[in-house]
Structure 1
């Protein structure tokens, strides 16, 4: 550790270095499998998720690149693209959540309500 650097900054830089290493590991893993091979194993909703995550990751890295070159990324058109991708990711999440939600068995619910209203004779 550099003695001139405050410990707090060193901690942030270490965490950043670890995050960059994790991203690099994920990229190596993703690049080891062909895109077509990966997508063929997924259903259309999962394919959309992979495409959106990839686009979001690429745009986020571009955002960081702009910031490191002194450009304010909040004023760059890339910010609109990130927002568009985020909206699409939320749409896919809503669809996924709807598919996971419990399905109502109308006939069973109807029987339950009728028995509750009429009372059961025993």
Structure 2
């Protein structure tokens, strides 16, 4: 058995076992019985998932990359704290207003822990996104920009190309005009 023992095979419809109390589903309102049955199924699924994670063993955990270990630990921390928060809610305790502190309500410590884990999850998500983000190859960018810029006094710049284009057009025009003059003389 793993670190998260969970008994499966609990009856679901005719008798509900919630919080150690056995209830006859027929005695309850149908809507309430349906909601409790769905809640019971959800708790069973969560238990199965936690069992699967806890039964993986230390060799699985040690084979994980550092980022995956962090994600695994955060998942477990969030799951366990969420389950405890749910437990408090099902027993009638409001985790958001746990103790009276003067005029205001002080939240249960599990609420602060859930906020802390959520913050860590967001940070881990940002780190993972940064790793996947496109990176700029600065050396290649500098070479590209330098190669496209013209330095005064060096041949091959845009101004030199324009001058060369102008010269070739002038030569063509002269050649055309001399060929026209030659044709007129022949006629």
Instruction: For residue 54 of structure 1, give the secondary structure of its aligned residue in structure 2.
Output: helix
Residues 13-52 of structure 1, C-alpha deviations (whole Å, 9 max, x = no match): 5653443333122122113211x22221112221111111
1:30 aligns with 2:56: no
**Which structure shows the higher strand fraction?**
2
Q: Which has the higher Rg, Structure 1 or Structure 2? A: 2
Shift of 1:59: 0.2
Identify the structure with bigger relative contact order (alpha carbons < 8 Å, sequence gap 6+). Answer: 1
Cα distance, 1:92 vs structure 2: 1.0
Question: Number of aligned pairs?
Answer: 118
TM-score in terms of structure 2 length: 0.53
Residue in structure 1 matched with residue 6 of structure 2 by the alignment: none
Higher helix share: 1
Q: Can you give the 5+ residue segments of structure 1 that lack an aligned partner in the other structure?
A: none
Give how far 1:67 is off. Answer: 0.5
In the alignment, the residues of structure 2 paired with residue 67 and residue 19 of structure 1 have an alpha-carbon distance, to the nearest angstrom, of 15
Match of 1:90 among 108, 122, 133: 122
Q: CA RMSD in A?
A: 2.9
Q: Deviation at 1:111?
A: 3.3
How far did residue 77 of structure 1 move? 1.4
TM score, norm. by length of structure 1: 0.77
Kindly report which structure 2 residues correspond to 1:28-107, keeping only aligned pairs within 5 A, or say none: 28-34=51-57, 36-74=58-96, 75-107=107-139
Please list every run of 5 or more consecutive structure 2 residues that lacks an aligned counterpart in the other structure.
1-12, 14-25, 97-106, 151-156, 162-187
Cα 1:110–1:80 shift into 2, 3 Å:
same
> After TM superposition, what 4+ stretches of structure 1 lie above 6 angstroms from structure 2?
none
**d(CA) in 1 for partners of 2:84 and 2:137?**
48
